[in-house]
Amino acid sequence: SQTIHQWPATLVQPVGSPLSLECTVEGTSNPNLYWYRQAAGRGLQLLFYSVGIGQISSEVPQNLSASRPQDRQFILSSKKLLLSDSGFYLCAWRVGRGTEAFFGQGTRLTVV
Amino acid sequence: KQEVTQIPAALSVPEGENLVLNCSFTDSAIYNLQWFRQDPGKGLTSLLLIQSSQREQTSGRLNASLDKSSGRSTLYIAASQPGDSATYLCAAPQGGSEKLVFGKGTKLTVNP
């Protein structure tokens, strides 16, 4: 069966520090991968999605970036965190456009 | 641009009651719609995926309906239980794209 792993679960980082969040999917090949951010009162916001290795689409211009170095690995990064980057980051996958989406357990990021 | 609205934002019911959660979307050119559940501090759990060609989808005590022409979907929960307490989110695609647009959710509390 397919599973999605996301880590770390919680993270407290100072302003200006770098960030790396990792997401991996098991049990499927060539998934579509997504990074969402959930902020209080704002709902889920799509940040990046990828339909293949090295293919990244950005939805929101900001100081975050994403990479997909392997088929089932999706990484969210920042060189310098801002206070406004605080939130709950969720990774998701699905096989194709019309299929069911599955989410990881999320990373709670607090920038201090 | 797809916009998804969920009403009410919060709902409190006694155990055993049947209830309906509402989801409306502005762009009816969707290929499917998905309902999720989110427990506090956790990721999203997929409940039901309903394709545009379907009118209803059922899983246990849950039944989701989809009316593309009116831009509405409902999630019916039968015989509610305290364990159903969570936030329920619906998501619809933006046009034919990969992007899933989420509503802000309905926070359900089922009182024993």
pLDDT single digits (tens) A44-102: 999 999 999 999 999 886 899 999 999 999 999 999 999 999 999 999 999 988 899 99
Antiparallel, parallel or unpaired: β B19-25 and B4-7: antiparallel
Q: How far is CA A104 from CA A45, A107, B10, B45, B109, in A?
A: 15, 9, 24, 9, 24
Name the residue facing B44 among A41, A90, A97 (closest C-beta): A90
Query: Residue A79's pLDDT is what?
Result: 96
CB within 8 Å: A106 and B102: no
Q: If we measure between CA atoms, which residue out of A76, A39, A41 comes closest to residue A56? A: A76
Across chain B, mean pLDDT equals 95
Whole-angstrom Cα distance, residue B83 to residue B85? 5
Query: Residue A61's pLDDT is what?
Result: 65
Name the residue facing B103 among A34, A43, A59 (closest C-beta): A43
Q: How confident is the model at residue B11 (pLDDT cuts 50, 70, 90)?
A: very high
Query: Residue A70's pLDDT is what?
Result: 95
Query: For residue A34, what are the β-bridge partners?
Result: A49, A92
Name the residue facing A106 among B32, B42, B100 (closest C-beta): B42
Q: How confident is the model at residue A43 (pLDDT cuts 50, 70, 90)?
A: confident
Contact between B52 and B30 (Cβ < 8 Å): yes
CB within 8 Å: B49 and A43: no
- Res. B95: pLDDT tops 90: no
The string of pLDDT tens digits covering residues A13-40 is 999 999 999 999 999 989 999 999 998 8
- In the three-class reduction of DSSP (H, G, I as helix; E, B as strand; rest coil), residue B82 is classed as helix
**Ordered DSSP codes for A63-108:** SEEEEEEETTEEEEEESS--GGG-EEEEEEEESSTTS--EE---EE
Whole-angstrom Cα distance, residue A99 to residue A76? 23
Mutate to test the interface with B, among A103, A107, A109 (most CBs of B within 10 A): A103
- In the three-class reduction of DSSP (H, G, I as helix; E, B as strand; rest coil), residue B79 is classed as coil
B100 phi and psi angles, rounded to 5 deg: -100, 130
- In the three-class reduction of DSSP (H, G, I as helix; E, B as strand; rest coil), residue B84 is classed as helix
Query: Residue A41's pLDDT is what?
Result: 75
Query: Residue B24's pLDDT is what?
Result: 98
Mean pLDDT of B49-78: 95
Residue type, A89: Y
User: In the numeric block, which tokens belong to residue A111?
Assistant: 């920038």
Query: Residue A18's pLDDT is what?
Result: 97
Nearest residue of A to residue B5 by CA position? A43
- Res. B79: pLDDT tops 80: yes
- Res. B63: pLDDT tops 80: yes
Which residues of A fall below an 8 Å CB-CB distance to B? 6, 32, 34, 41-44, 46, 49, 51, 57, 59, 90, 92, 97-106, 108
